[in-house]
């Protein structure tokens, strides 16, 4: 039996290597690839996806999984081997439902669509992206159909990113969350608004970059295992446990955008860099779910990065980088400015009080597309209607509206809800961390993140994909995904900032 286990792990390692090869091609596509290379890159990605899929559904893999099942049944369900084989079986069962031709078509289509999205965004013209998105939606629907019967057509796509979580559960969580956030925004709108006018000045591109690097290093990033580059839309990707890449984007007149992007992506990277080394080249060397991934990014970006304690340490340093812009701005005024609540067009620049509403808009749109209630042609109109309904603002153009996110060009239907679920998980984890780590606020105010990162590595990062999201959060906090702590966090934070 040990021989069978070894053969299984060797085959899974090959699949993992191919996944990371595809990730490397995808990273280069978004960072360095010249536009003329789009179609050739699409073919490369399609070929890799075909090889990977064929290996992932091979008779050899299926036979090995069947052979080791009696061995697994005798193991402690929490043992590494039992969890590894459970996750591998789950992936095999899902992959075998999807025809290889569909996988290849999906890979090729999304690779080409990425550049179509970039061009459409630059030219502010949804029509340039529309035919590509129409094909992607049809492919996503075809993929979902492979998983019948289901409770909702959106379930299979959600499950790709959030194992074990159903559309109905997300509906219930959002139904609980939305009225509280709408009420909070209403209360804040009745208070005197925070002054953030000083952030409208020009801030040096290079100094923004340098300060972001400094902060990432203080969090725990090490550049012998990672690097940062620039891209149209910030993202994190991994080619292995010792090669995790992040990107950011910089605007001279939006000085906090690059910093919070870097903090966000550093949170993702630290998660990837923290997987148990013994899981390397196995399905366990991955996140518990996209929401857990987002919980790490949003925790470092917002819960820590927008806190009073964080800026008590870092604001004098930031002032030294930008004395002309900030030397006469008090620390408290700066703290309030970076937490200003104001409905805005762009999700990635949204404040914590309004951010989840952006996610809910995309969730409603994706469900409607999957259900066939709307067509891609009507997407800009639905987008604008929901922006008005949820946030009381309307985009003036496609680039600030329906074209602002990269996810649909990659066929990532089912991903958006995980951003809001990640926010929720970040506070459930934060409450537990504060219970376990003494004087955490003082440590952050002193620029010391060692114990905080150590807690996350031990209790979250270390496990990788060993547990499903609800299993892991239950293990850590005694509760499933629960929006109440997050609601309380928002109320406490903003009642202090806006004095209500």
Give the tokens for residue 172: 């219930």
Helix 308-321, helix 331-338: angle, nearest 10: 110
CA distance 142 to 77: 34
- pLDDT, residue 233, reads 87
* Predicted TM-score (pTM) of this structure: 0.94
The predicted pLDDT at position 72 comes to: 84
Q: What is the pLDDT of residue 50?
A: 96
Catalytic residue (choose from 162, 169, 265, 294): 265
**Residues contacting residue 65 through CB under 8 Å, at least 6 positions apart:** 8, 85, 88, 89, 92
Question: In this predicted structure, what is the pLDDT of residue 24?
Answer: 97
Q: Is 60 a catalytic residue?
A: no
Give the residue from 237, 219, 222 showing the smallest Cα distance to 301. 219
Q: Which residues of the chain have pLDDT under 50?
A: none
CATH 3.30.300.20 is the classification of domain 167-498: no
User: Tokens 């057509």 correspond to what residue?
Assistant: 153
> What pLDDT score does 73 carry?
85
Q: Range(s) for CATH 1.10.1370.30 in the chain?
A: 167-498
pLDDT at site 294: 97
Task: Report whether 173 contacts 424 (CB < 8 A).
Answer: yes
């Amino acid at each position: 039996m040990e021989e069978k286990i070894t053969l299984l792990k060797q085959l899974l390692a090959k699949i993992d290597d191919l996944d990371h090869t595809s990730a490397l091609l995808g990273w280069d596509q978004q960072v360095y690839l010249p536009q003329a290379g789009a179609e050739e890159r699409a073919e490369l990605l399609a070929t890799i996806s075909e090889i990977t899929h064929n290996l992932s559904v091979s008779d050899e893999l299926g036979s090995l999984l069947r052979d080791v099942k009696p061995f697994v049944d005798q193991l402690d369900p929490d043992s590494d081997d039992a969890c590894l084989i459970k996750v591998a079986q789950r992936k095999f069962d899902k992959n075998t439902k999807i025809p290889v031709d569909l996988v290849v078509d999906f890979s090729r289509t999304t690779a080409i669509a990425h550049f179509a999205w970039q061009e459409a965004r630059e030219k502010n013209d949804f029509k340039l992206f529309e035919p590509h998105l129409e094909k992607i939606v049809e492919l996503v629907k075809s993929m979902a159909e492979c998983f019948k019967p289901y409770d909702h057509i959106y379930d299979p796509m959600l499950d790709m990113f959030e194992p074990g979580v159903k559309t109905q559960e997300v509906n219930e969580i959002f139904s609980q969350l939305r009225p509280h956030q709408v009420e909070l925004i209403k209360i804040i709108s009745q208070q005197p608004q925070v002054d953030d006018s000083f952030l409208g000045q020009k801030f040096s591109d290079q100094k923004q970059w340098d300060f972001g690097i400094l902060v990432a290093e203080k969090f725990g990033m090490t550049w012998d295992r990672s690097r940062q580059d620039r891209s149209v839309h910030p993202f994190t990707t991994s080619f292995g446990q010792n090669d995790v890449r992040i990107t950011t984007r910089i605007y001279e007149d939006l000085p906090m955008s690059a910093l919070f992007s870097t903090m966000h992506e550093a949170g993702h990277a630290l998660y990837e860099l923290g997987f148990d080394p013994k899981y390397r080249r196995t399905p366990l060397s991955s996140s518990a779910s996209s929401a857990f991934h987002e919980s790490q990014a949003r925790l470092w970006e917002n819960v820590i990065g927008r806190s009073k304690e964080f800026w008590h340490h870092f604001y004098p340093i930031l002032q030294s980088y930008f004395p002309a812009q900030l030397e006469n701005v008090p620390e408290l005024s700066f703290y309030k400015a970076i937490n200003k609540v104001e409905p805005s067009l762009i999700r990635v620049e949204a404040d914590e009080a309004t951010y989840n509403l952006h996610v809910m808009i995309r969730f409603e749109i994706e469900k409607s597309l999957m259900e066939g209630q709307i067509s891609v042609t009507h997407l800009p109109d639905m987008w604008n209607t929901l922006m008005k309904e949820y946030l009381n603002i309307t985009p003036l153009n496609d680039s600030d509206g329906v074209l602002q996110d990269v996810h649909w060009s990659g066929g990532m239907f089912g991903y958006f809800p995980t951003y809001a679920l990640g926010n929720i998980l970040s506070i459930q984890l934060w409450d537990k961390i504060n219970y376990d780590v003494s004087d955490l606020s003082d440590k952050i105010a002193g620029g010391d993140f060692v114990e905080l990162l150590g807690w996350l590595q031990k209790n979250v990062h270390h496990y990788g994909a060993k547990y499903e999201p609800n299993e892991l959060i239950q293990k850590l906090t005694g509760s499933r995904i629960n929006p109440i702590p997050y609601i309380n966090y928002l109320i406490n934070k903003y009642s202090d900032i806006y004095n209500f």
